[in-house]
Structures are given as C-alpha cells and as structure tokens.
C-alpha cells in the first residue's frame, strides 16, 4: 500500500482520504483552513453526507488516516481543492490549485505522483499546475507523474459512488497515467478508462455535466412553450419519450449544486466557441424569473404578498444548498440580488418570503416548519423534490390559506388529486 497526501478536505477530499485509508493506504489529510483540521482532529465532521461520519471515524481510529496541518512527503499527492466561479467573468478562480501546487513543491520527490481531481477548465493541469510543480527542478512525466482524474460523485451517495463509478484518468504521458491507475485500482470497482493526455480527462468531466445542463434547458424551454399553449409539459414529454430514439429530461426550477451551473462555463474559458451551451445556461438561470412571472400572473401583484418556498436544498433528499434555486427564488422575491426583480409599475417588490426544508440544517437560514410557512401564505412554491413533500395533501393548504395556489416546479404532486380540490395547481 502507498502513502497519500490529500490536499483539501471538503466534499470530495475528505471522503477520498477516508476511502483510501479504509483500503489500507497510509493517508495524510491536509487542509489549508486550520478550523477544518481542528474540527476533524476533535472528531467533528464538517460535511453533511450520509455515512461519512462513521466512515471517517473508522479511518482515523485505524491509524490509517492522519489529519495534519502541514503538507507531508508522500508517494501520491491528490489535489481536491475548490475552484470558485467568478460569476461576472464566467471563469474559474484557479488560486487554490496554484497554492496547492506551491505547497507540494518543497516535498516533491522523484517517483512521486501528483493527481488533480478538482474540476478545472481544459488545459489547467498542463498549463497551470505543471509549471508550478516543475519549479522544484523535477520534470513532469520523467521525474514525477502528473495526472488529472476528475471526480464524478453525487452528494447523498458519495461513498458508494467513489467505489462504483467509472473513472477517467489522463496523465501527461503513459507512465503518469499508469501510476495513477495503480492507486485507483485499489478501491474503484467501476471501470477505469484512460486517455492519452490530461486535457482530455478535464474536458470529459465538463462535457458530462454540460450534457445534463443543456438537456435540462431543452426540457425547461418545452415547459415554457407548453404554458403558452395550455399544455401540461410533463404529459407531453412523457408521450414524446414513447419514441425509441427520444429521451427528454424533466423540467424544473433551474439547476443547482457546484457542477451543472458552473462546469459549462469552464468549457469556454479558453475558447470562443461557446454558443448553444451558453444559451442553455441562460435558459436554466432564467427559470427563477419565469417562476416569479407565474406568481405575478396568478396573484396580480407581488407587493405585500406572502410566498412560501418548500425546499432550499439544490436537489432532493440532501441538505446541500450550494447554488440553490430555492434560495435564489427567495433572493429575487426579496430583491436582494444585484439586479432586483421589479413589479409591473417599476417599484421594488415587497414580498414576505418564508422557507421550509426538512433536510437542510444551516443555522444561518431562517427555516420554519411547514405549518408556519404556509399559514396565511398567498402562494406556495415547491422547489426541491424531497420525499417528505410527496405526502403534502391539498387539505393542508386549504386549511391554512385563503385562495390556495401551489406552484409545483418538480412534478411531485398527484395531478388528479390536486385538480379535484380547490387548490390552483400550476406545474412546470
């Protein structure tokens, strides 16, 4: 078994470190944030992920995972640091990648392998990370191996997917690629695919998420078209998918998380060819404004109204609120974005927004019970497909609202049941 230093103990780095340790590698988990390492050193897990606490505790108690405040020498260095998105410039901030590379330089030895797992624009491994590492006077591909191996896990199922998902590995040369294959082969049960260069591996991860984003955009545009014709978009999509060569995804309130809203822009960071993909991003980002328009159409005005939002996690059955459509709807209704939504007469909206989410535990959010948020609400918007929301019945709204309006952006509610009630159900 090998020694591994994992750089960055976030959503990907910490589970990866624990996984390697539980497969008998000696792992050093490093994070530049001393608060993170202190919490982990005290047995506190700072990430909400099913099964992760026990998994990390097992790795630490076995002695195979050691949390450290400094970068140490190791046969393998795995970089799992964030790549923040500059919304204005539509570009990745590669500062954390650069700092990780600089931290490795003093301990880099001949025969070591450096693996970049962070999601990055194509060319980052060779054009950004490699020159930094080679300032050690070691040459990538000759003295040390340099590889990109993107993570592809889904929050809520990270531990399982680290093992079961196929992995794509691309090194700066064949020797580099095979060095990484040896490490991942020790715990990956899915198929390991290799490519002849690191840039292709970077590109593949981005187009995987871009495929999903653009196809969701098609479904969202179909939903908007359907409303103009008085058609139920989900029924139309279900019927269209009867064709053996058609597989349209489902519409919704846009996309969230740290991948789908961001990765398509990374693709175009070093290219001028982004066109369809950029327009798909515009469609998906525009769904919040579309929901606001629906509310305005149904309520006549939004001034002085109360809107209840059900779900501020970015996806169902997790507590992750990164790039959350539900939170973005709350911001737009409250006019707290950089470009506040305005009502028809041009004045800023005065909307009482209340939020409920049974999965989110973020203490900075003013979360309320289901009963509290729908009490005297003028409209309810279901934004996340948590299992708990399937049990909501029309009577719940009828007893708490005057003229109940429910906007179901996830297609969770039984159409027949709700249409047979006095609730005005609007589905996206």
Q: Is residue 201 part of a domain?
A: no
> Do 262 and 192 lie in a common domain?
no
Domains in the chain, number = 2
> Do 382 and 298 lie in a common domain?
yes
pLDDT score for 199: 97
Q: Is residue 68 part of a domain?
A: yes
Q: Is residue 95 part of a domain?
A: yes
CA distance 350 to 125: 48
- Average the pLDDT over 144-153 and give the result: 96
> Do 326 and 390 lie in a common domain?
yes
pLDDT at residue 313 is higher than 70? yes
Q: Is residue 264 part of a domain?
A: yes
> Do 176 and 322 lie in a common domain?
no
Residue 349's pLDDT band (cuts 50, 70, 90): low
Average pLDDT in the chain = 93
> Do 160 and 297 lie in a common domain?
no
Min mean pLDDT across 185-189, 275-279, 397-401 is at: 397-401
Q: Within a 10 A sphere around the Cβ of 128, how many other Cβ atoms? A: 17
- Average the pLDDT over 298-313 and give the result: 95
- Average the pLDDT over 331-347 and give the result: 56
pLDDT score for 340: 42
**Prediction pTM value:** 0.90
Domain finish residue from 196, 219, 241: 196
> Do 91 and 192 lie in a common domain?
yes
> Do 257 and 192 lie in a common domain?
no
pLDDT at residue 261 is higher than 70? yes
Q: Domain residues for 102?
A: 3-196
Q: Is residue 244 part of a domain?
A: no
> Do 89 and 189 lie in a common domain?
yes
pLDDT at residue 341 is higher than 70? no
Q: Within a 10 A sphere around the Cβ of 64, how many other Cβ atoms? A: 20
Residue 417's pLDDT band (cuts 50, 70, 90): very high
- Average the pLDDT over 93-116 and give the result: 98
Domain finish residue from 196, 222, 240: 196
Residues that are catalytic? 205, 259
Domain finish residue from 196, 226, 260: 196
> Do 301 and 159 lie in a common domain?
no
CATH classification at residue 323: 3.40.50.720
> Do 291 and 166 lie in a common domain?
no
Q: Is residue 207 part of a domain?
A: no
> Do 174 and 290 lie in a common domain?
no
pLDDT score for 363: 87
Q: Is residue 286 part of a domain?
A: yes
Q: Is residue 235 part of a domain?
A: no
> Do 63 and 178 lie in a common domain?
yes
pLDDT in tens, 58-101: 999 999 999 999 999 999 999 999 999 988 888 999 999 999 99
């Amino acid at each position: 078994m090998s020694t591994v230093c994992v750089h960055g103990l976030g959503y990907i780095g910490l589970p990866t470190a624990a996984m390697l340790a539980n497969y008998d590698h000696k792992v050093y988990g490093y994070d530049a944030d001393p608060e993170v390492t202190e919490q982990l050193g005290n047995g506190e897990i700072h990430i909400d992920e099913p099964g992760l606490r026990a998994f990390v505790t097992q790795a630490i108690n076995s002695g195979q995972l050691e949390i450290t405040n400094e970068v140490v020498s190791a046969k393998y260095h795995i970089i799992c640091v964030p790549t923040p998105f500059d919304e204005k410039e539509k570009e990745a901030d590669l500062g954390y990648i650069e700092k990780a590379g600089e931290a490795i330089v003093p301990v880099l030895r001949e025969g070591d392998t450096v693996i970049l797992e962070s999601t990055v624009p194509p060319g980052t491994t060779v054009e950004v990370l490699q020159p930094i590492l080679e300032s050690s006077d070691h040459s990538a591909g000759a003295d040390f191996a340099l590889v990109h191996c993107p993570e592809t896990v889904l929050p809520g199922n990270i531990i399982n997917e680290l093992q079961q998902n196929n992995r794509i590995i691309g090194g700066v040369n064949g020797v580099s690629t095979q060095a990484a294959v040896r490490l991942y082969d020790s715990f990956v049960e899915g198929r390991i695919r290799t490519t002849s260069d690191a840039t292709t591996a970077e590109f593949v991860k981005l187009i995987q998420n871009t495929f999903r984003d653009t196809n969701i955009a098609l479904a969202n545009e179909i939903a908007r078209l359907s409303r103009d014709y008085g058609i139920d978009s989900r029924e139309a999509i279900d019927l269209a998918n009867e064709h053996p060569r058609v597989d349209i995804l489902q519409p919704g309130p846009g996309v969230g998380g740290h991948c789908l809203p961001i990765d398509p822009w990374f693709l175009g960071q070093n290219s001028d060819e982004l066109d369809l993909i950029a327009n798909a991003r515009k469609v998906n980002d525009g769904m919040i404004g579309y929901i606001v328009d629906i509310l305005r159409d149904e309520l006549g005005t939004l001034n002085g109204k109360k809107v209840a939002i059900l779900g501020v996690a970015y996806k169902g059955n997790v507590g992750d609120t990164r790039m959350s459509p539900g939170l973005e709807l709350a911001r737009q209704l409250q006019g707290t974005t950089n470009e506040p939504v305005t009502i028809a007469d041009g004045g800023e909206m005065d909307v009482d927004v209340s939020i409920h989410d049974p999965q989110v535990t973020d203490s900075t959010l003013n979360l309320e019970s289901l009963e509290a948020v729908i009490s005297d609400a003028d409209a309810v918007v279901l934004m996340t497909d948590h299992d708990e929301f399937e049990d909501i019945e029309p009577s719940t709204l009828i007893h708490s609202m005057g003229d109940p309006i429910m906007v179901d952006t996830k297609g969770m509610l039984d159409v027949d049941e709700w249409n047979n009630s006095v609730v005005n159900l609007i589905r996206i």
